[in-house]
Amino acid sequence: KGGMKKVPSFKDIIMLNAQAREEEDRKQKEKLQEQQERLRKEAMERRKKSRPRLVVNPIKRCAKSTGDLRSMVIVEEEEEGYYGGGGGGIIQEDEVLGDTDASEFYSRKQKGSTSRQNGKKLRPDEAKRKNFIIHKKEAQRRAQQQR
């Protein structure tokens, strides 16, 4: 009896390769699925952390009345040698912003009324056309009444 080794046939080799490839594909899909799940969880955590927290204080007055405007005044003070964004201004009770631009506001308001007056004026050709139309309508009315 000769000790011949059984050499796997071509079909057996192909089948082994196919099984190994199938196993690799399955592992890769599982890995991809796990990675997607992890990314989804991380994104959800990030969303929860970055969600703004709203603080609502009850208003103890008529809702239509103007509140304390001085509480909204924030003055930014520049420090020597410090440049860049930051935040945190210092609230000063005495200073009210906006009291300096009143003259500009009223002059602009006045200018607006004059430009509106000028816009209402008719150009000579428009006035002539309007006169023709009015004359024609009156003539039609007279003709209507005579019938």
The pLDDT of residue 13 is above 80: yes
Stronger pLDDT, 130 or 51, i.e. the higher one? 130
| Confidence class for position 107, pLDDT limits 50, 70, 90 | confident
- Residues 24-50, mean pLDDT to the nearest whole number: 92
Report percent pLDDT > 90 for the chain. 28
- Residues 14-23, mean pLDDT to the nearest whole number: 89
Q: How does pLDDT run across 122-141, given as a tens digit for each residue?
A: 888 888 999 999 999 999 99
The pLDDT of residue 15 is above 70: yes
The pLDDT of residue 108 is above 90: no
| Confidence class for position 6, pLDDT limits 50, 70, 90 | confident
Full 3-state SS string of the chain: CCCCCCCCCHHHHHHHHHHHHHHHHHHHHHHHHHHHHHHHHHHHHHHHHHCCCCCCCCCCCCCCCCCCHHHHCCECCCCCCCCCCCCCCECCCCCCCCCCCHHHHHHHHHHHHHHHHHHHCCCHHHHHHHHHHHHHHHHHHHHHHHC
pLDDT at 87: 52
| Confidence class for position 88, pLDDT limits 50, 70, 90 | low
